[in-house]
């Protein structure tokens, strides 16, 4: 059975959900006074439980085989590098968005006027302002950040499209035994 990397990821998640569901089944058997054939009931329940345990073990083997194949192919076709580039671009985008959200610095003339006002204020007035606060980014810095936001958003879209393309186009073969285990567990049909 040929599967692409995207399908492999979906199958891996389904395997984990199935394992979790199967692992919740109890090993206990309840008997009451009306049970006649306890030995047969015990043997049947034991066989079911052990078959369940074997299926879980087999599913783990398939899961880790898929995971290994996927990891190797991710490296071979450059998906790991793409994922890193996408994450870096997102971090850079966050930085640019932060810069873009800031207010621009006051003009130097305005800062000097406010400082002169402070210097000339009556010192006996307890509530007079003692500092002038201003951001340290200019309108040009903010405009540059806006341009970078646009560029980075487009880069993330382009990289994401390429990632999706590689995930769909890159395929590997799942052997028949593994496929049959997935069918037995109801993951594939």
| Residue among 165, 114, 146, 185 at smallest CA distance from 6 | 165
Residue-level pLDDT at 118: 80
Note the pLDDT of residue 124.
Answer: 63
Tell me the domain boundaries of the chain: 1-77+171-189
Q: Which residues contact 32 (CB under 8 A, 6 or more apart)?
A: none
Strand extents, DSSP E, the chain? 2-4, 171-173
Decide: 80 and 74 in contact? Cβ < 8 Å. Answer: yes
Averages of pLDDT over runs of 10 residues in the chain (189 residues) are 93 96 86 82 90 96 96 96 98 97 93 86 68 92 97 98 96 93 92
Cα separation of 49 and 183, whole Å? 19
| pLDDT score, position 189 | 82
pLDDT confidence of residue 175? 92
């Amino acid at each position: 059975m040929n599967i692409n990397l995207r399908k492999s990821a979906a199958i891996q998640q389904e395997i984990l959900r199935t394992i979790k569901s199967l692992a919740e089944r109890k090993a206990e058997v309840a008997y009451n006074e009306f049970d006649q054939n306890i030995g047969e009931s015990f043997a049947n329940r034991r066989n079911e439980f052990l078959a369940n345990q074997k299926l879980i073990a087999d599913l783990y083997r398939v899961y880790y085989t898929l995971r290994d194949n996927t990891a190797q192919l991710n490296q071979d076709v450059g998906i790991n590098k793409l994922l890193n580039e996408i994450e870096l671009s997102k971090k850079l985008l966050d930085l640019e968005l932060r810069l873009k959200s800031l207010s621009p610095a006051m003009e130097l003339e305005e800062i000097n006027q406010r400082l002169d006002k402070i210097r000339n204020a009556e010192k006996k007035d307890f509530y007079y302002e003692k500092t002038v606060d201003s951001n340290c980014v200019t309108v040009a810095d903010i405009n540059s950040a806006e341009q970078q936001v646009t560029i980075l958003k487009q880069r993330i879209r382009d990289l994401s499209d390429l990632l999706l393309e590689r995930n769909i186009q890159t395929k590997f073969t799942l052997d028949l035994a593994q496929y049959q285990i997935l069918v037995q567990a109801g993951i594939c049909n």
